[in-house]
Amino acid sequence: MTDTALTPGAAQMRAAHARLRERLPAGWPTDASGVALESFLTRGLPGTDIEEWRYTSLAAFAGRLASALEASAEAAAQPAADPPLAAALRAAVPGPVLCLTDGQLEPGADLPAGLQIRPAARLLPGLAPVGISALADLNAAFARDGLNLAVAANAGPQGVLLIHERAASATTVGQPRVRLSLAGGSHLSVVLLATGGSATTSNAVVEVDAEAGSVLHLVQLHEGAAGAQRIARTELRLGAGASARVTSVDLGSSLSRQDVVVHLAGDDASVDVAGLCAGPSGTHVDHHLDLQHAGRHTASRTLYRSVVDSGGRVVFNGRIVVGVGAAGSDAALTNRNLLLGPGAEIDTKPELEIHTDDVRCSHGATTGQLDPAALFYLRSRGVPAAEARRLLIGAFADELLARIGLPTAEAALRNRIHALLEAAGGLAQ
Partner 1 sequence: MLEIRDLRVSVAGKEILKGLSLTVRPGEVHAIMGPNGSGKSTLSHVLAGRDGYEVTGGTATWHGRDLLALPPEERAWAGVFLGFQYPVEIPGVSNVYLLRAALNAKRRHAGLPEIDAIGFLKLVREKAKLMQMDESFLNRGVNEGFSGGEKKRNEIFQLAVLEPTLALLDETDSGLDIDALKVVASGVNSLRSPERAFVLVTHYQRLLGYIEPDFVHVLAGGRIVRTGDKSLATELEASGYDALRAPAA
Please pick, from the candidates 38, 272, 347, 387, the single residue that binds partner 1 as defined by CB under 8 A.
387
Shortest CA distance to 25 belongs to which of 88, 105, 90? 105
Nearest in space to 255 (alpha carbons), one of 213, 314, 311, 207: 314
**What is the torsion angle, in degrees rounded to the nearest 10, for the CA atoms of residue 400, residue 85, residue 339 and residue 382?**
90
Candidates 396, 415, 424, 428; binder of partner 1 (CB under 8 A) is 396
Report the distance separating Cα 423 and Cα 373, nearest Å: 25
Give the number of residues in contact with partner 1, rule: CB under 8 A: 23
Q: How far is the CB of 280 from partner 1 (least distance, A)?
A: 20
Comparing CB distances to partner 1, the nearer of 91 and 395 is 395
Regarding 377 and contact with partner 1 (CB under 8 A), the answer is yes
Binds partner 1 by CB under 8 A, chosen from 57, 398, 422, 428: 398
Alpha-carbon dihedral 129, 15, 70, 101, rounded to 10 degrees: 40
Query: How far is the CA of 174 from the CAs of 39, 55, 298, 379, in angstroms?
Result: 19, 23, 35, 47
CB of 412 to partner 1, least distance (A): 19
* Residue 370 neighbours by CB distance under 10 Å: 18
* 374 counts as binding partner 1 under rule CB under 8 A: yes
Binding window for partner 1 (CB under 8 A); candidates: 32-40, 290-298, 309-317, 374-382? 374-382
- Regarding 71 and contact with partner 1 (CB under 8 A), the answer is no
Residue 115 and residue 151 in contact, taking contact as beta carbons nearer than 8 Å: yes
Sign of CA dihedral 122, 125, 129, 133: positive
Calculate the CA 97 to chain-centre distance. 18
As a whole number of Å, the CA-based R_g of the chain is: 21
Interface residue with partner 1, options 10, 24, 127, 383 (CB under 8 A): 383
Three-state DSSP class for residue 108? coil
Backbone angles phi, psi at 268, to 5 degrees: 65, 15
Q: Is 97 in the site for partner 1 (CB under 8 A)?
A: no
Complex with partner 1: residue 30 or 376, whichever CB lies closer: 376
CA dihedral for 217, 244, 83, 276, sign (positive or negative): negative
- Is residue 24 a contact residue for partner 1 (CB under 8 A)? no
Q: Near partner 1 by CB under 8 A, which window of 114-122, 244-252, 302-310, 381-389?
A: 381-389
- Using CA atoms, how far apart are residues 124 and 202, in angstroms rounded to an integer? 18
Contact residue for partner 1 among 378, 411, 424, 428 (CB under 8 A): 378
| Cβ distance to partner 1 smaller for residue 194 or 397 | 397
Q: How far is the CB of 399 from partner 1 (least distance, A)?
A: 6
User: Site for partner 1 (CB under 8 A): which residue of 5, 395, 419, 423?
Assistant: 395
382 is a contact residue toward partner 1 (CB under 8 A): yes
Provide the minimum distance between the beta carbon of 395 and partner 1 in the complex, in angstroms, as a whole number. Answer: 3
34 near partner 1 (CB under 8 A): no
381 binds partner 1 (CB under 8 A): yes
Among residues 60, 81, 121, 391, which is the contact residue for partner 1, using CB under 8 A?
A: 391
Residues in touch with partner 1 (CB under 8 A): 371-374, 376-385, 387-388, 391-392, 394-396, 398-399
